[in-house]
Chains A and B, each alone.
Chain A
Amino acid sequence: MDQPLLIHLVPLDHEALTTLLANIAEAFPTQPYLVLTPDQHEAPNLIPYTPTSPYPSTFTLTAADFLAANQQLALHPAQAILQLGAGADSLSPAALAALAHPVLTGAADLTLPCYDLPPNAGLVNSAILFPLIRALIGTPSRFPLALDLALTPRALARLAATAARTAPDTILWPPIECAAAAFTVTEVSVGHRALPAPSNQDLTEILTLILTSLFTEIELRAPYWQRARTAPISVQGNPGASALPNPDINPMVESFRLAYTNLQEIWSLVLPAQSLLGLKRLSVTPATSFLLPDSLWARIIYDFLLAFRLRTINRGHLLGALTPLYLAWVASHLLQTSHGTPPETHIEATAKAFEVDKPYLVARWRWPDRFTP
């Protein structure tokens, strides 16, 4: 008999768990499966377990999640693993089935979901994580930090091995990890999903947390991504999602202008003259026509990544100095989308700019001379 699909859950409240179990049952009418939950609950195919360490985060999966899943895999050998995060009860049965299908059929080692999110949700992902990872490793990963994943046992084992070397709350990057191992990564549309908000709402802290983890991973994987060939990726997002009308971008623009005055000294340690000139122009641009060019944004991220690697300044200060620039991108994005550009179109353009400028990053990474244009 085929080995089952192992569905590994994080703690959920009773109602959410009940809903999710019903959706799972509907998603896999013929596929044998086992659901592992840290919650006390009784249902067919359900195996409660006691996690070895507390779950440190709800807004993303962490090292602890992969370790826990891998421990359960050792007890319950499975054909594939569906790792579902907080709020997974909002995924439809079809989404669950679609997510598991590529790994169950052997078509992929890792399936990432592509969510339909409300307008302006997940902009850190859209502005930095998605374009950066896509440009560097060339895998489809619109949501590289997804809360839900389907994995083959070997993909999970690899992530767990990495997790074992880190703290439980460390954020892992499954698409990078799997791509570096030459595993197949794929992406499926899963429709709407409710995303839990981070417990900490401070933007700089969130940016620092996520980017420290991502930039460290990128530094570690430099030999891989510098050779990875990136090919055009088909867009899985929802291009029809409409923007909110008349967004108020003034606070963000003001925040950027203030930072332009205060943080110039730090930025000048990180960014080359051409980028500084671009920011200078932007600082005097009226809010009504505030447009941060995609290429400039890509180079800003690349230069911050490089400064992070070279420890040009304290890494905390460095990422703190990125926040106003990120706000400038958000303002620019909102303005463009309010003028009729579909959000996904602009995000795709951003990702393309990252791809086009990848040689800029590679060249600077290899030869980080400040005497650059």
Chain B
Amino acid sequence: MKKPGSATDPLWYKDAVIYEIHVRAFADANNDGIGDFPGLLSRLDYLQDLGVTCLWLLPFMPSPLRDDGYDIADYTSVNPSYGTLADFKLFLDAAHQRGMQVMIELVINHTSDQHPWFQAARLAPPGSPERDMYVWSDTDKLYEGVRIIFTDTEKSNWTWDDTAKQFYWHRFFSHQPDLNFDNPRVMEEVLKAMRFWLDMGVDALRLDAIPYLIERDGTSCENVPETHVMIKRIREVIDAEYEDRLILAEANMWPADVRPYFGDGDECHMAFHFPLMPRIYMAIRQEDRLPITDIMAQTPEIPESCQWGIFLRNHDELTLEMVTDDERDYMNLAYAADARMRINVGIRRRLAPLVDNNRARIQLLNSLLLSFPGTPIMYYGDEIGMGDNIYLGDRNGVRTPMQWNSDRNAGFSRCDPARLYFPVIMDPVYGYQVVNVESQLTDQSSLLHWTRNMIALRKLFQVFGRGTLTFLHPENRKILAYIRDLKRDDGTHETVLCVANLSRFAQPVALDLTPYKDLMPVEMLGYVSFPKITLTPYPLSLAPYAFLWFELQPAPAQQDLPILPPDHTQATEQITLDLLTKGWAGFLAGQGADLLHKVLPDYLPRQRWFGAKSRTIQTLTITHYVELHPATLLTPSSTIGEAILFLHIAYTDATTDQYQLPIAYTTGDSIGQVPPATILATLQSPTGPAVLHDATTREDFRQSLLALITTQSSVPLHTLKAAAEEVATTIVAAHTDRPAHDITPTEAQPLTDKILQTHTIEPQRVDPQPDNKQLWGAPGHAAPSRDLGSSPSLSGTHTPTYTPPPTHPSRLSSAEQSNTNIFFGGDLLLKLFRRLQPGLNPDVEIGRFLTETAHFERVPAYLGALTLTSTTGEPTTTAMLQQLIPNEGDGWQNTLEELARFYESVATSRPPATPATPPTLLDPDQPIPEELASHAGLSLKAAALLGRRTAELHLALATPTDNPAFAAEPNTSATLLADAQRIDVQINLTLDALKAQLPTFKDLLADTAAQVLTRRIPLFAAAHSITASIPSGQRIRIHGDYHLGQILINHNDFTILDFEGEPAKTLAQRREKQSPLKDVAGMLRSFSYAAYAALDAYQQRHPTTPAASQGLDAWATLWQSAVSRQFLQAYRTTIAANPSLLPEPTQAQSLLNAYLLEKSLYELLYELNNRPTWVRIPLAGILALST
């Protein structure tokens, strides 16, 4: 009869805590020295108290036990040493009664050579159904090249069978012949065995070694497509015949290779995440989070119903198959110094000995296990910190009897100690007299109690099993911080912040938690409330190996008012009254404008987005403003709306700028939510203090901006004069008891003039009976226009494909940028340009072209814009709405992290033997030097992909079009000469500045600078070499400011951002068409910067000797050269789709060199003025180009 499983939720495995047990090792009830089911049954209460919810039993079927039971001789019975089938059923029912699920092994890749099927196969003639149950061959050359897994014991995957007179195939031990899944009978038998156990009520099956089910010549015989047909068949039967069951894949592969085993949710429910485990150990040893964040970045999304299985240790070795050679060496040296601790490609040790029995390290590792996405799997005995016995063979050192108490045989069995299947651990540190369940149960501070509490805590929060994972990127890499978030069915979120110190010393960290502003972290173990999250980085200090779990909860409503700088406090009730009674017009017509003129020169330079911090403001004028009215607001914090002020700023160096400044007025408790840095002034209001502040911090303002675009509506643009007229009109209307629209401009003119002169609004002085005739006769004053069709205004527009989204909560980006980025939900990004330049913004123009004309997908889709139309009709883009790209960080940060690992990796190596050669477009494709490839990690592949994406961008920008702003134009002698002359200017400007600063340089830097100064003539020659041949190739619109910081990483690919061009240039310059090679040069220079910036950072962390430093320099140069070459090779291959785009190869190379030179000179000038310590980077680039 078919019995149901014990779970009622189909996704039960997502919330499970799995405990791995070997029946043989857990408890012996009949005292024969071997654990058994009655023994296990007697310990179920212990497991229930521990809090685990699913018991995973290693194979317990009849077996010769030459591979600890994974060599099965009968699929539908119980090894007599462990009990009977009835005993198993009793155990199963008892586990179910305690609410625990049971998972058993379905070892289907192979059987024991003692299995009746194999015995029959040997005797059966070739080609018979019996023989075909296994994989046979007359030669051991078939499937040649397939790797051997048990390298310590096996020399081949084939073994000769004298009886059968053929070789049989085995991926593991030679006594484990592989079943032949090309024979349908094998699957029938597998399903029969599976049904046998599932009918009994078993909840889950672990599919052992499934990548190896099918063999195909010419492949690695791993993960071949037919394997998935087999797994789908198994799943199909389970879904059709059973409810709430699970299959778990054992596929020791990279996450991307394991991904297919989930299928579309129609293969395995779960799979082990093998590569994570060694990287957790690596991270804690290296005190660096990179190994973990790196592997998680490579972990693909899996279907909604699927789950990763994660673990710290299990019955096998700590496998090092999924690491690089260097990483493997490192792990062996760090964790298995004694060769006896190693086996195959891994380390055969338990958790506690691996971390030197350090309690804090054990707890830290378990905290990661219990808080990472996936279902945690714990290995028996690790909850009490059991040790291992490296003198036992194979992996048996981690399979010793469970240590229950300090009695004979650790309470595992009452037999003669000599009868035990393996001796118990008896050393003075991990011996059963010291480490056992009984003593730890009586010790409230024991590891067992700690583990029990942590499991219980995890089970309280479904987010751990089902939530998303987002890493934070604090500067201190010894800190691993991440957010787990689960959106519940009712729309609310369960959000947990986890912070772990991977270092053996106390560490500080400041976390960017701005998306969680106003939430309160509540430490989860002690239920302790921490200070509320604000827009400023959230500081924490962590003790050595400490971890903190916080639930992010809404903060209590009570808020304190911020303490404001006294020089910005203005006790001006009149200003407040003007604002409250007459709106922003009243504010700006009255003393509000004076107040702003007074505070803004101090305020602006303190803002991140203000670009002229080094210049002195001479005059500041509010030229125009627009009002956003409360009608457009969602949750107004005050009864008046916000305004956007347009500022004209003149500097003492005779330059000018235009900026926009959104401004808001907030009172009451809401003041507590205004970041102090954004406050312009504090005002006195009749109801208490109020503040004037940057409106972008207000949700209602941000929604109003989005609403303007969504509804494609406009708001009128006013001048301060219009504000005065509006106020005057209102006052006259009030005092003449007439409607405002009846008041003519002439009528209000005297009062308008008075307001404009004095900036005071004093209604009591208005003559209630004005001389209408005289006023009406005054010429030359127009009323404020209400006709938006032709008037200056701020207007929203969107693309035809833009679908207004449901209301999304918005938040400000925390990134320090010259613009202000506003996120709406997870879909939209509004970029508010702070510094305004008349004309169409290239970011909007190019974004729109790439989206609507070229349909290029590797950029955020352009969705809409806010445009200011002045009296002259010239449009100015003030904001752009685009698709928000989910990402794992930008290219710059990612490359620096890659390089940090690179330098760590090469630090102990000799300097490279391969010389670095400058990459060129003329190179034939060259292989990567092997000595570099083994250290460089993913950066080489990434560079090639980036080269391809860059070329695709240029192909898209060259899309044929009637739009003159984008139509490609040929390079001409004139354009090339202009380029050369522009570079001439740059050479002179830069070298003059270099010469001026030469005396301040020291030693090597001075030598290099002097060398560069001697190259003035070759540099001019290099610049003018571009005019030497007949012009070819095309000029198109390009990115214009292309570097690694403009790239987002998403799903192992790139998205290209920010087409504004170089901010220092005029809009007209930025909109010029140029050779695409200019972007290429930008990126190559960015590689150079990354190489040296990361080297500097490394050397700050690890001060090196001059000799070692020189070696690292050589590695940096080689890395830069190889990465650049990969980039260029991919770029050249891809851009070939439009052969006319680039000039002929020699001219293309000259152009690229010239642009590289120009960029290096520009960088040098910048560094001379701003970061003298970085001067060496562009100097090296210039030298390389001039030799």
Contacts and interface: CB of A to CB of B under 8 A. Distances in A.
A259 interface: no
B564 interface: no
Contact of B526 (A229, A363, A370): A363
Contacts of A182: 490
A223 B449 CA distance: 20
B1017 interface: no
B429 interface: no
Interface string B439-467: 00000110001000100110111100000
Given A370-B444, A371-B444, A222 B460 contact: yes
Interface string A175-216: 000000010000000000000000000000000000000000
Given A366-B525, A367-B525, A223 B444 contact: no
Contact of A366 (B449, B456, B462, B553): B456
B444 A366 contact: no
A229 B528 CA distance: 15
A122 interface: no
B149 interface: no
B391 interface: no
B453 A367 contact: yes
Chain A CB count within 10 A is highest, among B462, B527, B554, for: B527
Contact of B453 (A227, A229, A366): A366
Contact of B444 (A359, A362, A363, A369): A369
Contact of B445 (A223, A229, A363, A371): A371
Nearest to B456: A366
A368 interface: yes
Contacts of B490: 182
Contacts of A363: 525-528
Contacts of B462: 223
A223 B524 CA distance: 12
Interface string A329-373: 000000000000000000000000000000100110011111100
B447 to A, nearest CB: 13
A366 B457 contact: yes
Contacts of A72: none
A94 B49 CA distance: 51
Interface string B553-567: 110000000000000
Interface residues of B, number: 21
Interface in B503-553: 524-528, 551, 553
Interface in B858-900: none
A369 B461 CA distance: 20
A220 to B, nearest CB: 11
A46 to B, nearest CB: 39
Contacts of B453: 366-368
A368 B456 CA distance: 11
Chain A CB count within 10 A is highest, among B460, B461, B525, B528, for: B460
B526 A223 contact: no
A362 B522 CA distance: 12
A370 B524 CA distance: 18
Nearest to A367: B525
Contact of B527 (A222, A359, A368): A359
Interface in A152-191: 182
Nearest to A363: B527
Given A222-B460, A223-B461, A226-B460, A366 B445 contact: no
A223 B526 CA distance: 15
Contacts of B460: 222-223, 226, 366
Given A182-B490, A367-B453, A362 B527 contact: yes
Nearest to A223: B460
A359 B462 CA distance: 20
Contacts of A311: 49
A370 B445 CA distance: 9
A366 B524 contact: yes
A371 B449 CA distance: 13
Given A182-B490, A222-B460, A223-B461, A369 B527 contact: no
A222 B444 CA distance: 22
Contacts of B528: 363
Contacts of B526: 363, 366-367
Contacts of B553: 227
A218 B1087 CA distance: 59
Interface string B1001-1019: 0000000000000000000
Interface string B457-483: 101111000000000000000000000
B465 to A, nearest CB: 12
A223 B457 CA distance: 9
B453 to A, nearest CB: 6
A367 B456 CA distance: 9
Contacts of A368: 453
Contacts of B444: 369-371
Nearest to A369: B444
B443 to A, nearest CB: 10
Chain B CB count within 10 A is highest, among A182, A222, A311, A366, for: A366
B398 to A, nearest CB: 30
Contacts of A227: 494, 551, 553
Contacts of A222: 460
Contacts of B525: 363, 366-367
Nearest to B452: A368
A17 to B, nearest CB: 40
A262 B380 CA distance: 41
Interface string A214-236: 00000000110011010000000
A368 B445 CA distance: 10
Chain B CB count within 10 A is highest, among A229, A367, A369, for: A367
A366 B490 CA distance: 25
A227 B552 CA distance: 11
B524 A369 contact: no
Interface string A231-273: 0000000000000000000000000000000000000000000
A306 to B, nearest CB: 12
Nearest to A370: B444
Interface in A6-23: none
A229 B524 CA distance: 15
Contacts of A366: 453, 456-457, 460, 524-527
A182 B490 CA distance: 9
Contacts of A223: 459-462
Interface string A279-322: 00000000000000000000000000000000100000000000
Contacts of A369: 444-445, 449
A94 B812 CA distance: 55
Contacts of B551: 227
Nearest to A182: B490
A307 to B, nearest CB: 13
B749 to A, nearest CB: 58
Contacts of B494: 227
Nearest to A309: B456
A115 B525 CA distance: 39
B751 to A, nearest CB: 53
26 contacts: A182-B490, A222-B460, A223-B459, A223-B462, A227-B494, A227-B551, A227-B553, A229-B554, A359-B527, A362-B527, A363-B525, A363-B526, A363-B527, A363-B528, A366-B457, A366-B460, A366-B524, A366-B525, A366-B526, A367-B453, A367-B457, A367-B525, A368-B453, A369-B449, A370-B444, A371-B445
Given A369-B449, A370-B444, 4 more contacts: A222-B460, A223-B461, A227-B553, A362-B527
